[in-house]
């Protein structure tokens, strides 16, 4: 292959490195207004009245809206395909505040400063209600109902309990199987609330253009879903909305959610002026989304020889005040994780409850990091109880080529799924190479007497898009000079999808990568795509690009076949040249000229791609830690990731995905946690207290790509974006246990928690 | 968003104090400004002291090390007077404060005047017996840094200006080290300990142990200091070291907060004190204890 | 209030509000490479040079830079060292979403301007103020090491 598999220059890298004005905020319009949200100081309260008279008298204040000013149309802000599997439990502005930070009113003013100043002058009459901020209490308390609206759609037990979503699925018979096992191990694992912390905050600018259309320029992962959702909740035709996604400064799932766009839309329509709303960092921590906090109970039944017979996973999760992704994230916790050990008896059950806490939602990994933490720590626990080597236990039981994912038929995207058979796997190889790189079995000596070293590992799998749901379109058009316009709905949020898709287009047409001009994610100009989530873009959108490019190639071959009097199939496209079976030869530019001016056709095609498969990428990840036995501090010395993502389209970008995921995963393991007080108030609303890894925190990383050829993927590719974030936390925590014998059932494994574990150990 | 009405610039300390007193409303001095929005979001005016002539670092004729209040932490990291004083402990402490862009503007005076219990520069300066110089409109006074902190976010200053701190020349040859315990590499301290020992003739002539983030104000562990003072280095066994550490831990008064529990902080005072004393003494080569930090 | 500064080599007058930050003033004047990430001086996306020193412009009052020299990435686009850094970052795959990149470039530029010796440790220290959520810092550090190595050879 000439372009696929090569480290071409990332298509947008130079302009980003020059600091060009390419992000949402690097753009202004005449007469722009600035919006600010007044947020609830109460975890649970009815909003009886909002008196904005004083605020409206202030200089520069143009408008203040609250729930009386907008029509109540229940919806979900989850940003998923229609019909969404998340409950319609949200209003643009609600008569009830359900967490500290919930929207109460919105101000628009001539400047940000004026908008902020006005917030202090809005008088709100609240009726405070008792609140629930503990998920166990939410599970049992039906006196206090967080969602009691009369017309909910998709809430699991609407009006009766606080359960937003639940799943109970079984293959085989776990209860019966456990009775036959030599050993049954049960443990609880506790997962924290963590935040995506993309460096660019949520930001959106909307205006009504000269054709009376609403233009929304926004930092989103889902432009097309957004257009559909906005049309419904703003009650204007989709045809009147155009969503433009410029460069996005990171998303990680947090920008799959609609958190600012509806407000700028409403306000632009009301005022007739451009309106901008940007979250502060504090708002990111209070009013964006979190990875769902969970408690996972794992029960495993195993025979003396290490054969796992049964696995049961029970998940209790806190969705916060709204049920965005409540069903599907928690579904993934089982669905994406348990198949790693495809045993005959699997029981997955989950309850996801509403609380008066800030909202959980999509975040890279989408439930799998929680499940993987529980399962992979549990494998170490089982191995320890069994007296078996933890690597051997995994090797004996993990999923292999040709195996059927036992849960796939029962559990899909919030409904029944499609049967998944492993058609490509590099997992064995990844384990082998990873072990070699970390020095498995050869623990190095610690560097001082009070330090102890340990090694840990974890296996992970994910999916490539959502089978039978995710799809995308691509259009390829050839120009006079042999360049190609590629337009895709696929959404580049920094992960590099524009580059990968351009590579595939160039490969398919046999032209240099530089000849591809890509346009992505503009709802007026590009085909549809579900957007950037679920590790779908390379696999799904890539499939559409390959199809469209192949069709254009076919059109050219048809034209040239008549001209050269040969079979179109015998014409070869490579290196910018098109050659026939004789000595016919033209450059792609000559072919383009011929097609456009002699044959008088526009070589152009649009293709769509969907897959009923979601082939799992695999990862084997290994950590080496040094634990300070007196302070409890954990130093992550080295981290090895061996990842099978099928054919590697762009090695450096895949490595970049893995390295970034390791940095996020180490934060999950060791220091990231959004802390709330008992009323659900965020105690860590900034980077001073919510620590994400800096250049000094990350370990020495070894990243190994283990290519396989996935038969259903474009050029054999699978996904890479999410799978590497699953393994770091369990690998690191397993390494801590290996070092000092302390099992951290709760992450992050802060120094103090490890210190406490050490103290209990010596007691 | 900073709701400020006026930005005043002072050209000398007396003028700064006068500008502060002029009112109306609530004012604050600003040097680096790195914590200003966080700590003083509701000021009506600020008085910029960056051009008030108090940013110098110097050795006085008497040998004292003077650190102007408006000297940046980055200046402290690299200044040869500072790197050459007490083994460069002040430079080391400054280098662990914030990150490179923060240190470019953050000042030693700002760090002390914010008077957070976790002020990064306080322990090392306390351990090296710093004296504060304070300006009023028509007079200056000095007092020991130990008396400077009154409570969390509160100093003796009221509306007066800290012009700088001086470290006595006799500390220049002391052995000093500090350690800041954090969650990540760049973080607010959970516990900070600084130890300075004046060693002569195989004996600890003077000992200073200062603690940060474990009491309402940065503090000295004077009982632990007393235990060490006068001790022959050879006589400091691990048991003695353990006692000193335990006493230091007993002297502090930490809080539970979302960053760490009081119990953990107290135990860390013990661990860090022991490690720092051990490290400082083993640097000497006089004793055979293993360096444990 | 009215202030004068040297912005990217050009004498500039600004009318600034007392509470305005340097970040706000710079973006208002069209220096869009300076990014807003936290406004608390913790993330480094807004790093610029103030009299040659890297600072978080979100916590520097604009009024303070009267009489100073302020340099943003825009002012270094023709600078050989900066071009080398940009090229290396791009070629090593260090640019993912790119939002932190201008700040990171400024920090690395300030470090490399000091001249050799510059090792991985000094690079990592210089970058602690520039949070990046995409890359895990591996490729940015590799890129900076490559430039440092070239500087070492040619110095």
Which residues of chain B are within 8 Å of residue C19 when distances are taken between CB atoms?
Answer: 1-5, 7
Whether residue C30 sits in one domain with residue C9: yes
Residue to test with chain B: of C19, C53, C112, most B Cβ within 10 A: C19
B186 touches chain A (CB under 8 A): yes
Shortest CA distance from B35: residue in chain A:
A688
Cβ <8 Å between B292 and A448: yes
How far is the C-alpha of A621 from the C-alpha of A731, rounded, in Å? 7
Q: Which of C21, C47, C75 is the last residue of a domain?
A: C75
pLDDT single digits (tens) B38-53: 777 788 999 999 999 9
C123 touches chain A (CB under 8 A): yes
Q: Are strands B140-144 and B191-200 parallel, antiparallel or unpaired?
A: unpaired
Cβ <8 Å between C141 and A695: yes
* C-alpha torsion B78→B83→B89→B95, nearest 10: 10
* Cβ-proximal residues to B10 (8 Å cutoff; 6+ apart), any chain: B16, B19, B47, B48, B49, B51, B52
Out of C1, C125, C129, closest to residue B102 by CB: C129
| Predicted local distance difference test score (pLDDT) of residue C29 | 96
Give domain status of residue B200, yes or no.
yes
Out of A450, A631, A671, closest to residue B184 by CB: A671
**CA A159 and chain centroid, separation:** 30
Q: Which of C75, C91, C116 is the last residue of a domain?
A: C75
- Which among A555, A550, A475 is positioned nearest to A519, based on CA atoms? A475
Q: Which residue has the tokens 């048809």?
A: A558
Cβ <8 Å between B3 and C19: yes
Out of C18, C50, C110, closest to residue B6 by CB: C18
The 3-class secondary structure across A156-220, one letter per residue, is CCCCCCCEEEEEEEEECCHHHHHHHCCEEEEEEEEECCEECCCCCCCEEEEEECCCCCEEEEECC
Which residues of chain B are within 8 Å of residue A674 when distances are taken between CB atoms?
Answer: none
Cβ atoms < 10 Å from Cβ of A443: 15
Residue to test with chain C: of A695, A697, A700, A725, most C Cβ within 10 A: A695
Whether residue C60 sits in one domain with residue C111: no
How far is the C-alpha of A715 from the C-alpha of A707, rounded, in Å? 11
Is the confidence metric ipTM above 0.90 for this complex?
yes
Whether residue B189 sits in one domain with residue B89: no
Q: Which A residues 636-665 touch C at CB under 8 Å? A: 652-653, 655-656, 659-664
Whether residue C93 sits in one domain with residue C38: no
Shortest CA distance from A685: residue in chain C:
C38
Give domain status of residue B292, yes or no.
no
Provide the residue range defining the domain that includes B80. Answer: 57-170
Out of A17, A664, A701, closest to residue C89 by CB: A17
Cβ <8 Å between A199 and C124: no
Q: Which of B31, B48, B65 is the last residue of a domain?
A: B48
Cβ <8 Å between A689 and B271: no
Cβ <8 Å between C41 and B102: yes
Shortest CA distance from A116: residue in chain B:
B1
Out of B188, B268, B292, closest to residue A450 by CB: B292
The 3-class secondary structure across A255-276, one letter per residue, is CCCCCCHHHHHHHHHHHCCCEE
Q: Which A residues 345-384 touch C at CB under 8 Å? A: none
Give domain status of residue B291, yes or no.
no
Cβ <8 Å between B105 and C50: yes
Cβ atoms < 10 Å from Cβ of B38: 14
Whether residue C147 sits in one domain with residue C89: yes
Cβ pairs bridging A and C (under 8 Å): 170
- Tell me which residues of chain B have a pLDDT lower than 50: 285-293
Tell me, what CATH number does C22's domain have?
3.10.20.30
- Which among A213, A393, A199 is positioned nearest to A300, based on CA atoms? A393
How far is the C-alpha of A240 from the C-alpha of A231, rounded, in Å? 8
Cβ <8 Å between B100 and C125: yes
Per the document, the length of chain A is 763
Residue to test with chain C: of B42, B100, B186, most C Cβ within 10 A: B100
Whether residue C82 sits in one domain with residue C147: yes
How far is the C-alpha of C75 from the C-alpha of C95, rounded, in Å? 20
Cβ <8 Å between B268 and A631: yes
Cβ <8 Å between C99 and A200: yes
| Predicted local distance difference test score (pLDDT) of residue B35 | 84
**In tens digits, what is the pLDDT along chain C, a chain of 155 residues?**
999 999 999 999 999 999 899 999 999 999 999 999 999 999 999 999 999 999 999 999 999 999 999 999 999 999 999 999 999 999 999 999 999 999 999 999 999 999 889 999 999 999 999 999 999 999 999 999 999 999 998 87
| CA–CA min distance B22, chain A (Å) | 25
**Structural domain tally of chain C?**
2
Whether residue C51 sits in one domain with residue C32: yes
Out of A696, A752, A756, closest to residue B186 by CB: A696
B288 touches chain C (CB under 8 A): no
| Predicted local distance difference test score (pLDDT) of residue A151 | 66
B260 touches chain A (CB under 8 A): yes
Q: Which B residues 37-56 touch A at CB under 8 Å? A: 38
Out of A10, A199, A701, closest to residue C43 by CB: A199
Which residues of chain B are within 8 Å of residue A694 when distances are taken between CB atoms?
Answer: 99, 184-186
Whether residue B199 sits in one domain with residue B264: yes
**Structural domain tally of chain B?**
3
Whether residue B86 sits in one domain with residue B122: yes
* C-alpha torsion B227→B230→B232→B236, nearest 10: 10
- Which among A67, A52, A704 is positioned nearest to A437, based on CA atoms? A704
How far is the C-alpha of B100 from the C-alpha of B94, rounded, in Å? 11
Which residues of chain B are within 8 Å of residue A699 when distances are taken between CB atoms?
Answer: none
Cβ <8 Å between B33 and C128: no
Q: Which residue has the tokens 């007993």?
A: B250
- Tell me which residues of chain A have a pLDDT lower than 50: none
Task: Assign A509 to helix, strand or coil.
Answer: helix
C50 touches chain B (CB under 8 A): yes
| Predicted local distance difference test score (pLDDT) of residue B292 | 33
Which residues of chain C are within 8 Å of residue A28 when distances are taken between CB atoms?
Answer: none
Tell me, what CATH number does C93's domain have?
1.10.150.120
Give domain status of residue B293, yes or no.
no
Residues B51 and B10 sit within 8 Å (Cβ to Cβ): yes
Residues A345 and A171 sit within 8 Å (Cβ to Cβ): yes
A541 φ, ψ (degrees, to nearest 5): -65, -35
Q: Which of B148, B170, B192 is the last residue of a domain?
A: B170
Whether residue C148 sits in one domain with residue C102: yes
Whether residue C108 sits in one domain with residue C64: no
Residues B151 and B217 sit within 8 Å (Cβ to Cβ): yes
Cβ <8 Å between B7 and C53: no
Q: Which residue has the tokens 């007691």?
A: A763
Tell me, what CATH number does B117's domain have?
3.30.465.10
Whether residue C82 sits in one domain with residue C47: no
* Cβ-proximal residues to B59 (8 Å cutoff; 6+ apart), any chain: B65, B66, B81, B169
| CA–CA min distance B44, chain C (Å) | 9
Cβ <8 Å between C133 and A197: yes
Cβ <8 Å between C35 and A23: yes
Q: Are strands B140-144 and B149-151 parallel, antiparallel or unpaired?
A: unpaired
Cβ <8 Å between B1 and A112: yes
Provide the residue range defining the domain that includes C9. Answer: 2-75
Whether residue B208 sits in one domain with residue B122: no
- Counting DSSP H helices and E strands in chain C, the numbers are 5, 5
Q: Which of B170, B201, B229 is the last residue of a domain?
A: B170
Whether residue C66 sits in one domain with residue C26: yes
User: Domains (ranges, CATH) in chain A?
Assistant: 33-129+200-249+255-287 (3.90.1170.50), 131-196+294-422 (3.30.365.10), 424-463+614-763 (3.30.365.10), 471-610 (3.30.365.10)
Whether residue B188 sits in one domain with residue B161: no
Cβ <8 Å between B183 and A671: yes
Tell me, what CATH number does B221's domain have?
3.30.390.50
Residues B123 and B93 sit within 8 Å (Cβ to Cβ): yes
Residues A343 and A178 sit within 8 Å (Cβ to Cβ): no
The 3-class secondary structure across A644-679, one letter per residue, is ECECCCCHHHHHHHHHHHHHHHHHHHHCCCCCECCC
Which residues of chain A are within 8 Å of residue C138 when distances are taken between CB atoms?
Answer: 655-656, 659, 698, 701, 703
> Residue B24 corresponds to which tokens in the numbers above?
């109306």
Out of A14, A494, A694, closest to residue C134 by CB: A494
Cβ <8 Å between B100 and C41: no
Which residues of chain C are within 8 Å of residue A655 when distances are taken between CB atoms?
Answer: 93, 138-139
A35 φ, ψ (degrees, to nearest 5): -105, 150
| Predicted local distance difference test score (pLDDT) of residue A623 | 98
Cβ <8 Å between B100 and C107: yes
Cβ pairs bridging A and B (under 8 Å): 49
B239 touches chain A (CB under 8 A): no
Q: Which of C40, C75, C110 is the last residue of a domain?
A: C75
DSSP string, A705-725: E-----TTSGGGB---SSGGG
Give domain status of residue B175, yes or no.
no
Whether residue C117 sits in one domain with residue C63: no
- Backbone CA torsion sign across A554, A558, A563, A567: positive
């Amino acid at each position: 292959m000439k372009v696929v598999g090569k480290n071409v220059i990332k298509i947008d890298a130079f302009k980003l490195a020059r600091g060009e004005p390419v992000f949402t905020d690097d753009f202004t319009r005449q007469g722009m207004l600035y919006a600010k949200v007044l947020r609830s100081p109460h975890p649970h309260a009815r909003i009886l009245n909002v008196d904005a008279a004083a605020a409206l008298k202030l200089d520069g204040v143009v408008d203040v809206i609250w729930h009386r000013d907008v029509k109540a149309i229940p919806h979900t802000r989850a940003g998923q395909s229609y019909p969404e599997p998340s409950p319609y439990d949200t209003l643009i502005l609600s008569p009830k505040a359900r967490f500290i930070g919930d929207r109460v009113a919105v101000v628009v003013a001539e400047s940000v400063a004026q908008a902020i100043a006005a917030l202090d002058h809005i008088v709100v009459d609240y009726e405070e209600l008792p609140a629930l901020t503990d998920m166990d209490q939410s599970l049992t308390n039906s006196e206090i109902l967080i969602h009691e609206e009369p017309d909910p759609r998709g809430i699991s037990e609407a009006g009766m309990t606080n359960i937003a979503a639940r799943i109970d699925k079984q293959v085989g018979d776990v209860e019966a199987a456990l009775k036959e096992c030599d050993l049954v191990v049960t443990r609880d694992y506790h997962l924290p609330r963590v935040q995506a912390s993309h460096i660019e905050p949520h930001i959106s600018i909307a205006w009504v253009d000269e054709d009376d259309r609403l233009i929304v320029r926004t930092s989103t992962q889902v432009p097309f879903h957004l257009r559909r959702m906005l049309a419904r909740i703003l009650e204007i035709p989709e045809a009147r909305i155009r969503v433009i996604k410029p460069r996005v400064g990171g998303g990680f799932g947090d920008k799959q959610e609609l958190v600012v766009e509806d407000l700028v839309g409403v306000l632009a329509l009301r005022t007739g002026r451009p309106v901008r709303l940007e979250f502060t960092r504090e708002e990111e921590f209070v009013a964006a989304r979190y990875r769902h906090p969970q408690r996972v109970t794992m029960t495993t039944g195993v025979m003396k020889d290490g054969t796992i017979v049964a696995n049961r996973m029970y998940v209790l999760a806190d969705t916060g005040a709204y049920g965005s992704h409540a069903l599907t994230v928690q579904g993934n916790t089982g669905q994406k994780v348990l198949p790693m050990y495809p045993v005959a008896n699997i029981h997955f059950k989950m309850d996801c409850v509403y609380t008066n806490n800030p909202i959980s939602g999509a975040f890279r990994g989408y439930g799998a990091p929680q499940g993987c933490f529980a399962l992979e720590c549990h494998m170490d626990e089982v191995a320890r109880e069994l007296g078996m080597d933890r690597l051997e236990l995994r090797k004996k039981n993990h999923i292999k080529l040709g195996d059927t994912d036992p849960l796939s038929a029962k559990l899909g995207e919030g409904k029944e799924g499609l049967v998944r058979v492993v058609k490509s796997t590099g997992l064995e190889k990844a384990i082998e190479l990873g072990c070699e790189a970390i020095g498995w079995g050869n623990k190095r000596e610690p560097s001082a007497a009070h330090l102890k070293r340990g090694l840990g590992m974890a296996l992970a799998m994910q999916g490539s898009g959502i089978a039978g749901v995710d799809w995308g379109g691509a259009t390829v058009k050839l120009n006079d000079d042999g360049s190609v316009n590629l337009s895709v709905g696929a959404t580049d949020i920094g992960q590099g999808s524009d580059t990968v898709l351009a590579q595939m287009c160039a490969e398919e047409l046999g032209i240099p990568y530089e000849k591809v001009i890509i346009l992505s994610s503009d709802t007026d100009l590009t085909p549809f795509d579900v957007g950037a989530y679920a590790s779908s873009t390379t696999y799904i959108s890539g499939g559409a690009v390959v199809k469209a490019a192949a069709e254009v190639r076919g059109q050219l071959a048809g034209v040239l076949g008549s001209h050269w009097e040969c079979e179109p199939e015998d014409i070869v496209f490579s290196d910018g040249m098109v050659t026939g079976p004789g000595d016919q030869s033209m450059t792609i530019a000559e072919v383009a000229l011929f097609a456009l001016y002699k044959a008088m056709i526009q070589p152009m095609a649009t293709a769509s791609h969907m897959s009923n498969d979601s082939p799992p990428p695999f990862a084997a990840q290994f950590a080496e830690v040094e634990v300070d036995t007196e302070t409890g501090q954990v130093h992550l010395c080295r981290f090895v990731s061996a990842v099978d993502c099928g054919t590697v389209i762009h090695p450096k970008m895949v490595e970049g995905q893995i390295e970034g995921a390791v940095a996020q995963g180490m934060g999950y393991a060791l220091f990231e946690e959004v802390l709330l007080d008992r009323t659900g108030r965020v105690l860590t609303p900034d980077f001073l207290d919510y620590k994400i890894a800096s250049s000094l925190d990350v370990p020495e990383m070894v990243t190994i790509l283990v290519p396989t050829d996935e038969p259903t993927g474009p050029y054999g590719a699978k996904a890479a974006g999410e799978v590497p974030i699953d393994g770091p936390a369990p690998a690191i925590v397993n390494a801590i246990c290996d070092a000092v014998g302390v099992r951290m059932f709760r992450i992050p494994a802060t120094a103090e928690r490890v210190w406490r574990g050490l103290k209990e150990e010596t007691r | 968003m900073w709701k400020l009405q006026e930005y005043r610039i002072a050209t000398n300390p007396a003028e700064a104090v006068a500008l502060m007193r002029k009112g109306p409303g609530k004012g604050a001095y600003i040097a680096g400004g790195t914590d200003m929005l966080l700590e003083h979001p509701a000021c009506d005016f600020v008085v910029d002291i960056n051009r008030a002539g108090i940013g110098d670092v110097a050795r006085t004729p008497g040998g004292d090390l003077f650190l102007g209040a408006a000297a940046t932490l980055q200046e402290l990291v690299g200044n040869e007077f500072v790197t050459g004083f007490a083994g460069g402990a002040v430079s080391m402490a400054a280098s662990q404060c914030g990150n490179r862009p923060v240190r470019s503007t953050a000042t030693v005076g700002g760090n002390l005047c914010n008077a957070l219990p976790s002020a990064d520069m306080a322990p090392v300066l306390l351990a090296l017996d710093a004296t504060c110089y304070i300006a009023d409109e028509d007079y200056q006074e000095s007092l020991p840094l130990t008396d400077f902190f009154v409570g969390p976010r509160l100093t003796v200053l009221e509306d007066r200006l800290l012009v700088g701190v001086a470290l006595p020349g006799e500390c220049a040859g002391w052995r000093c080290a500090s350690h800041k315990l954090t969650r990540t590499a760049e973080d607010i301290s959970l516990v900070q300990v600084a130890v300075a020992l004046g060693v002569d003739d195989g004996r600890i002539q003077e000992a200073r142990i200062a603690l940060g983030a474990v009491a309402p104000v940065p503090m000295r562990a004077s009982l632990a200091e007393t235990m060490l003072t006068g001790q022959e280095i050879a006589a400091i066994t691990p048991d003695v070291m353990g006692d000193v550490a335990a006493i230091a831990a007993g002297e502090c008064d930490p809080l539970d907060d979302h960053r760490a529990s009081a119990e953990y902080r107290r135990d860390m005072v013990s661990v860090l004190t022991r490690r720092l004393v051990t490290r400082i003494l083993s640097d000497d080569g006089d004793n055979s204890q293993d360096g444990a930090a | 209030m009215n202030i004068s500064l040297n912005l990217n080599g050009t004498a500039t007058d600004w009318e600034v509000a007392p509470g305005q930050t340097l970040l706000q003033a710079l973006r208002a004047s069209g220096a869009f490479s300076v990014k807003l990430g936290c406004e608390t001086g913790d993330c480094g996306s807004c790093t610029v040079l103030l009299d040659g020193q890297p600072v978080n412009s979100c916590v520097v009052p604009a009024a303070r830079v009267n009489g100073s020299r302020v340099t943003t990435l825009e002012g270094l686009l023709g600078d050989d060292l900066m071009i080398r850094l940009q090229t290396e970052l791009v070629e090593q795959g260090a640019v993912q979403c790119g939002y932190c990149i201008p700040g990171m470039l400024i920090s690395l530029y300030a470090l490399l301007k000091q001249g050799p010796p510059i090792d991985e440790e000094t690079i990592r220290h210089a970058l602690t103020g520039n949070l990046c959520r995409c890359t895990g810092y591996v490729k940015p550090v590799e890129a900076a090491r490559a430039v440092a190595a070239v500087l070492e050879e040619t110095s």
